[in-house]
Structure formats: structure tokens, C-alpha cells
Structure 1
Amino acid sequence: MKRKVLITARVHEYLVNRLEEKGFEVSYQPSITYNEAKAALHDCTGLIVTTRLRIDKDIIDNAPSLEWIGRLGSGMELIDVPYAESKGIRCVSSPEGNCDAVGEQALGMLLVMMNNILKSNLELRRGIWERDGNRGYELNGRTVGIIGYGHTGSAFAHKLQGFDVEVLAYDKYKKGFGAGYVKEATMEELFEKADVVSVHLPLTDETRHLANAAFFSAFRKKIWFLNTARGKIVNTPDLLAALENGTLAGAGLDVLENEKLPTYSPAEQQVMERLLQHPGVVLTPHIAGYSHEASIKMPRYVLDKLGI
């Protein structure tokens, strides 16, 4: 009997084809709900997930044949990894597969902000030709602070080569990584020197709302802020206040605290509208790690790690 794999998200056909070539029966259900997945996993050997479903104790207990869980992308906060591993289930992710995409998007958002590219483009669409009000700032000679120096943080640093910037990187759980154009730094150094700050952290109890009012006000300079990691790392009302009171020069956000727009409360809707209207804000719908290339590289890394 063929071993069965449940895929719970939209994926490139490469993943389905490779699994089938290796003799797996693939159940491809990109819109499956939590309860449907719980039932479907009863006879599955493998599970492929992204960020759509929470894989908790209840789901794991209903999957007696499950041998492995493959996470496309980075961040395992939606998977109860310790419990899964206690049941002999191997859990792997693929941050190597989309770190270049995230690094490129972070750099792109930064250049868009600093050079008023989005603002001036939207004005032109309304027939406004404005040069003085859209005079940009050069990245050259500035200091870029990176918080979290894993795959995406280091990829962003790599993309900054050639811009003649000083890169200061802080990682609470990693030491000895500073080399060449990247200097290992403390948060105090980032607060003192940074012109740009980019966050590349997983979502944990420790990082939730790390970027809050106290955080933004701790920087000596008015910074451009980037978040391509997890939306809940940022306290969004505090970020909006920092933008509106001039503490921040701009914000580039690929992720939001609540990414289900139809569920917004009136307060959330008001904050979102003010962010969208702010000339220094660039928002994208969680697409930084979603490139065409990454859609192949992520499953390749997952299956290679699993030996499939």
C-alpha cells in the first residue's frame, strides 16, 4: 500500500510530482480546514504545511501513522514541535528556500520608502507632478541595523553589499557571526547608530510586540523600519503612533498582526486605513518569501532533509 501525504496549502507542482515519483499517494487539499485536516490525517505518513493551519496536540493525536511534518518556509510557531517529536514525528522547515526572496523584498521596500517611489507613483496616477515633495534619501553611507541574524537576516545583509552601508546585526542567540561588511552589535548600538532597522525574528512569547512604543522611542535617529518576519512582532497601533508623531521616517511591512482583513474590528480597520494613507508606509500582503523561485526551492529543501 502506498504511503500517503497530505498537502494543506497551494504548492508548486514540483512537490506533488516528486512525492509521486517516490511512490507516495498525494492528497492535495490547499483549502482544507482544521477539522478536515484532523480527519484526513488519520492514515497519513507525511504532512506538508505553510502558515494556514495550526498543527497542535489534537491533530497530532489523530495521526497515528504520521512520520514527518514538512514546513514550507521558516517559522515553526504553528506546529507543536516538542509534542510531535515526542511521538516520533520528524519536523523540518525550509528557511533556506525563501531567504533570498525575503532579502530582496526587504531591500526593495527600503528603496521604495527612501525614494518615495510608491508615493510619487500614486500621485502621478492622480495627475500630480511633484518633485520637491518627493525628494529622496540615499542609502549610501547610512547604518542598517538587522535584528535576528538567521537565514533571512543574513540574506538581507548580503543584498546590501554594494550600497556602501554599515551593517550592524544583533542576535540574542547567536555569537561570532560578524565578518567583513557585517558587524556583530548590541541592541544599544542599534539604538544609537541605526538609520534603518529590519526585523528577522521568529514569533515567540519573547518577540511578540517587541516593536512597541518603547522600542521605537529608544532610537536616537528617526529610522526607516522594516518587518518581513511576523506581524505580531509589531504592536501596530504603537507603530502608527510613531509614524504620526515623527519618531519613524517610514515603515515597510510585508506582514500584519491580523492578516485576515474581513475579520477586522472597527479599531483595526481605522489603524489600517491610517497606515494606507500615510505617505511613508509601504504595505504588501505577506509575499516576501513567496517568489516563483522559492516555491520550488522550499519543497526541495524539505524533501532533501527528509531524505525523499
Structure 2
Amino acid sequence: MADRQYQQQIMYPLRRSGSFTQNVKILKPFDSGDIKILLLENINETAVEILTKEGYQVEAHKKALPEDVLIEKIREVHCIGIRSKTKLTSNVLREAKKLLVIGCFCIGTNQVDLDYAAKRGIAVFNSPFSNSRSVAELVIAEIITLSRQVGDRNIEMHQGIWNKVSSECYEIRGKTLGIIGYGHIGTQLSVLAESMGMTVFFYDIIQIMPIGTAKQVGSLQELFERADFVSIHVPETKETKNMIGHEEISKMKKRSYLINASRGTVVQIPALIKGLQSGLLAGAAIDVYPREPHSNGPHFNDELNEWSTDLLNCKNLIMTPHIGGSTEEAQRMIGIEVATALYKFISYGSSIGAVNFPEVDLRAIQVAEEKNIRILFVHHNVPGVLKEINQLLSDHNVEKQHSDSHGEIAYMMADVSSVDDHDIREIYTNISSIKENILTRIVY
């Protein structure tokens, strides 16, 4: 009973005086029922099943929550799962007193203040490739649709207009696809395009081994000169923001096509509109936008983006509402991938795949008659901390230890064997007293 009371006491954040905030938590596997998880935005049922099966308390909502409701909810949860509409700003995270980990059930993490989360010892996970195939298939469909002007013919037929034409309608076989960003989606797209008889060139900031007969080019200029279709698959960074503007579009092959299924800030839409209106571009497909509505409905208008009407009036333009990864298969895989990462971090401390956090992992804690524990220690990345930790653990048998850093944050994982309850309390007390401590957990 005494041990149980001690454990309940230190499950909650403790604050100490000094220049560093101390968030010290301890967790036993059989206390998984104490872990509260909040899932928002209709996250796939596979995630709910995985996390519920582990014994966690899971509360799931189909929509994003207003900020005031979100703040109230997040105060009591140890884990939150979101998609793209929920904004976890510093204002929200400041109230997350018990939060250990955030799961972004999507590719992007721009909706989370990653630096603020890291400084509070909160790891953030996403799903960087589970929807790769879905996005690649959509792009292939758009390439064919643009090449045959299917979008315009569809609109005309819905208006009762019969317009059977073949002028400027082409097969994609024998055409050249230029891919900007040869990552998970880019390589999937490359394979599909080649199988349909296209020649593939790609541009990436790092040297990458091509798949199939694809060839890497040394500059965007060379890609633009070669490509009949240009498809963009890059993350949002300082380098990629507004990457494609008037100058870049003017260098593209005349009557070529531009496809953006990456991030809305990569392509400058006014430049795209001008390229379509001038006839330089034969068509375009856009799935992402600089500003997107927060909910479904008639919200895509000039109040959201001042150029919306001009864009809507462009010919041979396919516009989709950020559905590149919105397939049942992709959402299921994302649910499995992110939920598994959350479970591993909560239960074992594994941070492999975290986007804002040092990546550390050790093999599973060995089951033995003697009590074995795992120490999970997040701290400010300054000299001397590991020396102090090792001195504190010098009287114990440290079976495994791993440490890494990510900017200002460092993370150490250590397995200690043959300890009793008194040892655990002592280790906890000593580590939590280190002034550079951000968050400490002990699991066993």
C-alpha cells in the first residue's frame, strides 16, 4: 500500500525552485489504466483498438475541439493524437501538465509547436510514409486527367455541353515526368510512372540511389527543361516555402503541367494562375493551399485566399481538398504506425521516429526474479549531466545505457537491474534533483 501511494504521488508533475522546470513521472506497466489518451479528428479505429488493448483510457472525438475545450481536456491527458486541424500551440501546451507524447496521425507536424514541446520533454511522432502510395496514385490519376483534359470535359458534361475534342489531348506514354523531392512518395510515383511508359527525372537536395531507370538531375532548371509534367513532393521548410514562383514557372517547358500534392506554401498561387492564363502551362493539379478551411463546407473563397475566384476560373485545373493521403488504406496504416510509436514511448521510452526529440531505444527490459527498471531522463543538453548521472548510478548494475541529443534537448535511457523499492525511490529522488532535469520517468 505504501508503494502504491508513493507511485500515485509522483505520477503527476512536480515543480521545484530554480531555473529549470522539473516534470518527474514514474510509471509501472500494470498502471497502464491510469494513462489517459485523447484522440481527435476521427483518427482511424485501428489506433483506438491498439491503444485500448494496452489498457489505456482512450477518449476519441470525430472533430477538432475549440481551443478553450482543448485546453481543458489536455490538462488531464498523458497523450494526445491529432491530425491537421488541431493546433497545439505553446498556449495550449502550457496547460498540458501531464502530457508525455503527441501523435500526429498525418505527415505534417506544422500544427504543433515542436520546440516548445521538446523543451517540456514532450516527444512528437508522425507518419512520414504510410500514405505514400495513396498520394502517388492520386498524382498518376491527375497526370492522365490533365493530359486528356478530363476535368474540363466533366464540368462541361455536367452543364449539358457535349464537347468531343482531341486537340491537345495526349497519352502519357513516352512523356517525361520530373519529380521534385525523391522521398517516400517521390519514389513510389517514379515506379508507377515508369510502369506506364513515362521517362522519369528527379531533383533532390541530396544524392539518392534511383529506382528503376529514373535519373537524378543537378538543378531545378535542368528538370524544368526536360519535364512535360512536374510533380512536387517536398516538406515545408524555409528552403521550400515559395519555392515555385513566377521565375521558376517561366523556365518550365511550354505547355507543360504542374502538380502540387506536398505543402500549400511551396507554390505561389498567383504565379500559377498567371502561368495558366498565359498558356505557358497546359494545366495544373493542386491538392494543398497556403490557407485551408478548418471544416468541410462552402469555405473556399476569396475571404480565405484573395485569389480563389481567379484560380477557380482557370482552364484544365484539377483542385482537390487536401485528399492526397485520404484513403481507407492510408488511414489504417497511419493509425497502426503512430499508435504503435505512442505505445512504445509511453511503455518503454522508445523515441525512434520522433520529429522533435533525440532518437533513443534499447532492447526490451529483461524479465527476472529481481526487479529491473528503466530510467528515462530528458534534460537540457549541457556539459556534465551524464557524468552526474553516472555518479548517481555508480552503486547499481547498469545493464544498458544510451544517450543522444537534439538541439537543446538530450535524452538518456538506462536499464538498471536488481533493485528494490528503496533503491527506486532513491534513484528517482537523486535524478529528479539534477537542476538540468526536464522530465524523468521510471518504468518497470
Most deviating of 242-251 and 55-64: 55-64
Tell me the residue number matched to 2:58.
Answer: 26
Residue 224 (structure 1) aligned with residue 224 (structure 2) = no
User: In structure 2, how many angstroms separate the alpha carbons of the residues matched to 1:216 and 1:166?
Assistant: 21
Residue 253 (structure 1) aligned with residue 286 (structure 2) = yes
Q: Structure 2: give runs of 5+ residues left out of the alignment.
A: 1-32, 345-444
What amino acid maps onto 1:291 in structure 2?
T
Residue 90 (structure 1) aligned with residue 123 (structure 2) = yes
Alignment of 1:278-293 (within 5 A): 278-293=314-329
Query: For 1:180, which of 208, 212, 224 is the aligned residue?
Result: 212
Higher helix share: 1
Query: For 2:164, which of 117, 128, 131 is the aligned residue?
Result: 131
How many aligned positions are there? 306
Give SS of 2:130's match. Answer: helix
Asked if the contact 1:70–1:92 (Cα under 8 Å) also holds between the matched residues in 2, the reply is yes
Tell me the residue number matched to 1:5.
Answer: 37
Deviations 1:197-235 (A, max 9, x none): 111112223222212111101224332110111112121
Give SS of 1:251's match. Answer: strand
Give SS of 1:160's match. Answer: helix
Give SS of 1:152's match. Answer: helix
Query: For 1:147, which of 158, 172, 180 is the aligned residue?
Result: 180
Tell me the residue number matched to 1:168.
Answer: 201
What amino acid maps onto 1:196 in structure 2?
F
Tell me the residue number matched to 2:225.
Answer: 192
Give SS of 2:161's match. Answer: coil
Residue 17 (structure 1) aligned with residue 49 (structure 2) = yes
Scaled by the length of structure 2, the TM-score of the pair is 0.65
Most deviating of 255-264 and 184-193: 255-264
Residue 39 (structure 1) aligned with residue 72 (structure 2) = yes
User: In structure 2, how many angstroms separate the alpha carbons of the residues matched to 1:111 and 1:180?
Assistant: 21
Give SS of 2:257's match. Answer: strand
User: In structure 2, how many angstroms separate the alpha carbons of the residues matched to 1:89 and 1:47?
Assistant: 11
Asked if the contact 1:194–1:221 (Cα under 8 Å) also holds between the matched residues in 2, the reply is no
Most deviating of 107-116 and 51-60: 51-60
Q: Tell me how far 1:278 sits from its aligned partner.
A: 2.4
Residue 262 (structure 1) aligned with residue 299 (structure 2) = yes
Tell me the residue number matched to 2:350.
Answer: none
User: In structure 2, how many angstroms separate the alpha carbons of the residues matched to 1:277 and 1:133?
Assistant: 22
Q: Tell me how far 1:100 sits from its aligned partner.
A: 0.8
Asked if the contact 1:95–1:152 (Cα under 8 Å) also holds between the matched residues in 2, the reply is no
Deviations 1:68-124 (A, max 9, x none): 111112122222223322322221111222111111111111111111112122222
User: In structure 2, how many angstroms separate the alpha carbons of the residues matched to 1:68 and 1:267?
Assistant: 32
Tell me the residue number matched to 1:302.
Answer: 338
- Name the CA shift for 1:176/1:150 in 2 (closer, same or farther; >3 Å): closer
Tell me the residue number matched to 2:372.
Answer: none
Q: Tell me how far 1:274 sits from its aligned partner.
A: 3.2
What amino acid maps onto 1:262 in structure 2?
H
Give SS of 1:70's match. Answer: strand
What amino acid maps onto 2:214 in structure 1?
V
Asked if the contact 2:186–2:233 (Cα under 8 Å) also holds between the matched residues in 1, the reply is yes
Structure showing greater Rg: 2
Q: Structure 1: give runs of 5+ residues left out of the alignment.
A: none
Q: Which aligned segments of 4 or more residues in structure 1 are displaced greater than 6 angstroms?
A: none
Q: Tell me how far 1:306 sits from its aligned partner.
A: 3.3
Most deviating of 293-302 and 70-79: 70-79
User: What is the aligned-residue identity percentage?
Assistant: 28
